[in-house]
Amino acid sequence: MAQANKKEVLRTFNRSEKLPKPKLGEMFNDVWAVTEDGALPEAIIEQRSELGRLLKKYGGAWEPWKKELKRFVEEGEDVMDCDAASK
């Protein structure tokens, strides 16, 4: 029984790893408490902006990042948009 469960878990992991990852900016949503006006905390906005800045600068130049970005919907473009980072 445990062996069958293990095989099923591994099959599920393999299947899910082949699916495209959601937009990169989604990692900043749904976890953090929002302020009374519905905005993300300033620290989270700053972190998202910093990630966008780094991806703009190095995302296409450094092969590990370039490869990983291709796995995300929109390839991380949603966090590279500085205006969207403040939303």
pLDDT digits (tens, 9 = 90+) for 27-73: 887 666 666 777 788 888 899 999 999 999 998 898 988 998 999 99
Q: What is the pLDDT of residues 48-58, one digit of tens each?
A: 999 999 999 99
Q: What is the pTM of this model?
A: 0.68
What gap in Å lies between CA 23 and CA 5, rounded to an integer?
Answer: 31
Token look-up 């296409």 returns 60
The three-state DSSP-derived secondary structure of the chain is: CHHHHHHHHHHHHHHHHCCCECCHHHHHCCCCCCCCCCCCCHHHHHHHHHHHHHHHHHCCCCHHHHHHHCCEHHHHHHHHCHHHHCC
